[in-house]
Amino acid sequence: MLVAFSVAPSVAADSQGSVHDAVAAAVRVVRASGLPNHTDSMFTTIEGDWDEVFAVIKAATEAVGAFGPRVSLVLKADIRPGHTGELTGKLERLETALDG
């Protein structure tokens, strides 16, 4: 399963920098999980089974909650049982299609 998510405080506790600090706290949680992941300018994508992925997203959301009274969470999931390595596999197949 792949889950792309974005989490941020809806109301910054003090300044714009606090939003970046909050997002950094969430990304630290994801990276410490040991699950395959990728962060870009809009989302962090994480790969694993249902329970482990959502446990990490919950912990990342809680980390952001320390930065403000309200948290915004956006999720998009690709649920495909029995498939692993899709974090890079999907991109490799796309690149092959583009080259062909």
Tell me: the pLDDT tens digits for 37-47? 999 999 999 99
The residues with which 75 forms a beta bridge, in sequence order, are 5
CB contact at 8 A, 25 and 44? no
Strand ordering across the sheet containing 44-47: 37-39, 44-47, 2-9, 71-78
β-strand pairing of 71-78 with 2-9: antiparallel
What pLDDT band is residue 48 in, cutting at 50, 70 and 90? Answer: very high
pLDDT in tens, 17-36: 568 999 999 999 999 999 99
Higher pLDDT: 100 or 31? It is: 31
SS3 37: strand
Calculate Rg over the CA atoms of the chain.
15
Q: What is the pLDDT of residue 85?
A: 94
CB 36 within 8 A of CB 47: yes
Q: pLDDT for 59-94, tens place per residue? A: 999 999 999 899 999 999 999 999 999 999 989 999
Q: Domain 2-99, what fold?
A: Alpha-Beta Plaits (3.30.70)
